[in-house]
Amino acid sequence: MSKKEEIKKLAKYLITNSSGEITYSKLARIFNIKHVSTISNWISYLENAFLIFRLERFDFKLKQQFIAPKKVYCIDSGLMNYIGFKFSENKGKVIENEVALELQRRKAKENSFEVYYWKDYQQNEVDFVIKRDKKIESLIQVSYINSKEEIKEREITALLKSSKELRCNNLIVITWDYETEEKFDGENIKFIPLWKWLLE
């Protein structure tokens, strides 16, 4: 298989696994590539071609941040659908990708605006950590929910745990079409519909 075909296969894999964690060593095994640096270089090519972008896991220690798995997002939601992502089957991933794109746009407009994701050793995960001027400004979960009954306990648990660890109490859940403000274990969490958040 030619290098061009291998890079195309990698691109398709990353796009269909958008919003998922990746490690270069795992990708090297999947694609039977000897050198991890080759995978890293190919992903850089795809970023430079504006197909994908990477998100680092937040850690107060820069070394840990550097070696931790990355998350990958597709630069074009339409391309996700074209490659095989069906919105009806992957609503959560599609709107998470949309939020990631909007955060990248905001980051491009402001030098002090940084975006990460967060995950602890118990696998609690928060989709986006927003940092501005050395301060954690907000923690964001993205969830395809339309009512209170659809709120997932694990997503709230992760927000509350990250809130304590990162000392941030601006907690947000971006939803499909559910809006409210509620207290969980003494912490206020805002639920904002995607369309409304995009207009902020």
pLDDT at 26 over 90: yes
Per-residue pLDDT reduced to its tens digit, 155-164: 999 999 999 9
Q: How far apart are CA 71 and CA 112, in angstroms?
A: 21
Q: What percent of the chain has pLDDT over 90?
A: 79
Query: What is the reported pLDDT for 82?
Result: 76
Residue in 133, 119, 107 with CA at minimum distance from that of residue 64? 119
Contact 36, 24 (CB under 8 A): yes
- Tell whether the model's pLDDT for residue 69 goes beyond 60: yes
Mean residue pLDDT of the chain comes to: 92
Q: What is the pLDDT of residue 98?
A: 95
What is the pLDDT at residue 136? 97
pLDDT of residue 1: 62
Q: What is the pLDDT of residues 37-54, one digit of tens each?
A: 999 999 999 999 999 999
Cβ count within 10 A of residue 181:
9
Q: What was the pLDDT predicted at 90?
A: 78
pLDDT at 83: 73
Instruction: Please state which of the ranges 23-27, 91-95, 111-115, 120-124 shows the lowest mean pLDDT.
Output: 91-95
For residues 119 and 33, what is the distance between their CA atoms, to the nearest angstrom? 28
- Report the pLDDT value the prediction gives residue 24, as an integer from 0 to 100: 95
Is residue 84 predicted with pLDDT exceeding 80? no
Beta bridge partners of 114: 131
